[in-house]
């Protein structure tokens, strides 16, 4: 009798355990880390909060260094091992959507009352491709802010506010450059990398140009785009040597050691500068007199994978991570949620209002599934321009290559 009771109890216990185990969902969330902000730790803490609110969901957070992230994600998707949720660079959204790797979120967003109003306009646009919503904006930043070395500006008798215009920037760059002293006025760079493209785009956007027109055709030969390219070319004499193999990191080194008066970086540069002894400030981009500087949007969206068996739980997690009271604690750029961004910027960044204005004015990069190829062509364009090729000819070559992609 006792044995029968014991067996029955054991069977019941194992059944209960297996039922509990079946109900518990494990979500795999991948993100990348671009700064040394301790992002992974912040996210783990937020995840504990999410798990407390959702006892049946466990979240496994994988934080991957930025340089490896694209390759790791791509390999996982190709190998059928994609996570349930991940951050996606704004420029990958088109490709991941076209590949059928991620799911559209229009219905979920509508049902949950999640709408564009809560996010920066450019960030929301970056998650939309082919008439559908493929992600929820997670974090944002703008390429670029122009960080200035106040001491060098003061020594040269230049008011940093004067560089808001194209004309003012060029005049200042000329005055600040003294090659014999190893001093340069402007941190232009043109290596093979996305930072080259976003800085060039911000000058094109600010001059009224576009990369692709509304029909998806190359618009780089417009007078506005060519004008911006010619302008960038005219700045080359005031930049440190070696533009074509220099990146934003190299310019940061020169800026930090006092050799460079102005560097282009997103707002995420501020924590680095705050740790330095430099007297610095920033200007929100440059535009011709009478025009508004328009930066290039950067940032990441949260996407849910088609292969995920836990889409409902994944959506709960996406909503949680983009909530006003959570978003600011789980990003190392700027929260994409506007209200969270305001709080975050006021607490962590100098010139919060100026950053907000630049974020509101910024434009996303072309929303194309072949963006990475467009970007590669734009890098060649930048190198041609910085290398001395006639900007119109360089733009024509770039447009021929971009239009041949379709």
Partner 1 sequence: MTQRETWLAWLFAAPALLLVAVFMYYPMVGTFIESLYSTSFISPVPKLEGLAAYRRILADPAFATIVWNSLVWTVGVVVLQNLAGFGAALLLNQKLPGQGIMRSLVLLPWVLPGVVAAILWRFMYDPQLGLINSVLISLGLSDHGVAWLAEPQTAMASAIVAAVWKGFPFSCIVYLAALQTVDQEQVEAATIDGAGPVRRLFDVVLPGMRDVIVINFILTTILTFNYFDMIWVLTRGGPQNATHIFPTRIYELGFGQFRFGEAAVYGVFSILVLALMITLYFIVQRRALRRKPA
3-class secondary structure, 182: coil
- Residue 68-87 contact track with partner 1, rule CB under 8 A, x = bound: --xx--x--xx---------
Instruction: Give the largest CA-CA distance in the chain.
Output: 99
In angstroms, what is the minimal distance from the CB of 304 to partner 1?
A: 18
Contact pick of 156, 171, 329, 372 for partner 1 (by CB under 8 A):
372
Residues of 323-352 as b/e, b for ≥16 C-beta within 10 angstroms?
Answer: beebbbebbbbbbbbbebbbbbbeeebebb
Query: x/- site string to partner 1, residues 123 to 162, per CB under 8 A?
Result: ----------------------------------------
User: Looking only at residues 281 through 300 of this chain, which bind partner 1 when binding is defined by CB under 8 A?
Assistant: none
Half-sphere exposure of 24 (CA within 13 A, CB side): 12
58 touches partner 1 by CB under 8 A: no
Query: Which residue's CB is nearer to partner 1, number 174 or number 376?
Result: 376
Nearest to 151 by CA among 269, 262, 265, 241: 262
Burial of 54 (0-12, 13-18, 19+ CB in 10 A): middle
122: part of which helix (H) or strand (E)?
A: helix 121-126
Helix (H), strand (E), coil (C) string for 236-271 = HHHCCCCHHHCCHHHHHHHHHCCCECEEEECHHHHH
Number of residues that bind partner 1 (CB under 8 A): 37
Q: How far apart are CA 56 and CA 33, in angstroms?
A: 27
Burial of 373 (0-12, 13-18, 19+ CB in 10 A): middle
Q: Of 100, 154, 312, 346, which one interacts with partner 1 (CB under 8 A)?
A: 100
Instruction: By CB under 8 A, tell whether 339 contacts partner 1.
Output: no
- Least distance from partner 1 to the Cβ atom of residue 72, Å: 10
397 scored as a contact of partner 1 (CB under 8 A): no
Among 191, 286, 349, 358, binds partner 1 (CB under 8 A): 191
Stretch that binds partner 1, among 8-16, 169-177, 334-342, 372-380 (CB under 8 A): 372-380
d(Cα 221, Cα 68) in Å, to the nearest integer? 34
From residue 212 to residue 241, what is the string marking binding to partner 1 with x (rule CB under 8 A)?
Answer: ----------------------------xx
Applying CB under 8 A, the residues found at the interface with partner 1 are 70-71, 74, 77-78, 95, 98-100, 179, 182, 190-193, 240-246, 250, 253-254, 257, 259, 369-370, 372-373, 376, 379-380, 383-384, 387
């Amino acid at each position: 009798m006792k044995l029968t009771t014991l067996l029955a109890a054991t069977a019941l216990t194992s059944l209960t355990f297996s039922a509990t185990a079946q109900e518990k969902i494990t979500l795999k969330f991948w993100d990348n880390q671009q700064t040394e902000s301790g992002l992974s730790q912040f996210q783990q803490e937020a995840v504990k909060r999410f798990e407390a609110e959702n006892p049946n969901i466990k979240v496994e957070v994988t934080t991957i260094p930025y340089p490896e992230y694209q390759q790791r994600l791509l390999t996982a998707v190709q190998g059928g091992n994609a996570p349930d949720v991940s951050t996606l660079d704004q420029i990958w959204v088109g490709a991941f959507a076209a590949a059928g790797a991620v799911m559209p979120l229009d219905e979920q967003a509508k049902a949950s009352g999640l709408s564009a109003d809560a996010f920066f306009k450019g960030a929301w646009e970056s998650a939309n491709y082919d008439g559908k919503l493929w992600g929820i904006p997670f974090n944002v930043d703008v390429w670029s802010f122009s960080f200035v070395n106040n001491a060098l500006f003061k020594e040269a008798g230049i008011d940093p506010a004067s560089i808001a215009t194209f004309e003012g920037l060029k005049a200042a760059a000329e005055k600040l450059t003294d090659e014999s002293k190893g001093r340069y006025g402007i941190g232009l760079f043109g290596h093979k990398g996305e930072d080259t493209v976003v800085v060039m785009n911000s000058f094109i956007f600010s001059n009224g140009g576009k990369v692709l027109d509304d029909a998806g055709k190359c618009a780089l030969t417009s007078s506005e785009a060519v004008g911006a390219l010619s302008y960038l070319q005219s700045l080359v004499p005031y930049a440190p040597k070696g533009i074509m193999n220099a990146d934003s990191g190299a310019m940061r080194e020169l800026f930090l050691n006092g050799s460079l008066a102005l560097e282009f970086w997103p707002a995420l540069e501020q924590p680095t500068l705050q740790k330095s002894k430099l007297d610095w400030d920033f200007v929100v981009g440059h535009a011709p007199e009478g025009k508004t500087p328009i930066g290039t949007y950067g940032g990441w969206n949260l996407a849910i994978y088609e292969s995920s068996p836990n889409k409902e739980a994944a959506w709960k997690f996406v909503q949680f991570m983009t909530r006003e009271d959570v978003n600011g604690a789980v990003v190392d750029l700027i929260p994409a949620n506007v209200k969270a961004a305001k709080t975050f910027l006021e607490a962590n960044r100098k010139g919060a209002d100026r950053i907000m204005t630049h974020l509101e004015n910024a434009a996303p990069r072309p929303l194309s599934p072949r963006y990475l190829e467009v970007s590669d062509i734009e890098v060649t364009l930048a190198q041609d321009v910085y290398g001395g090729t006639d900007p119109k000819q360089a733009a024509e070559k770039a447009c021929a290559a971009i239009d041949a992609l379709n």
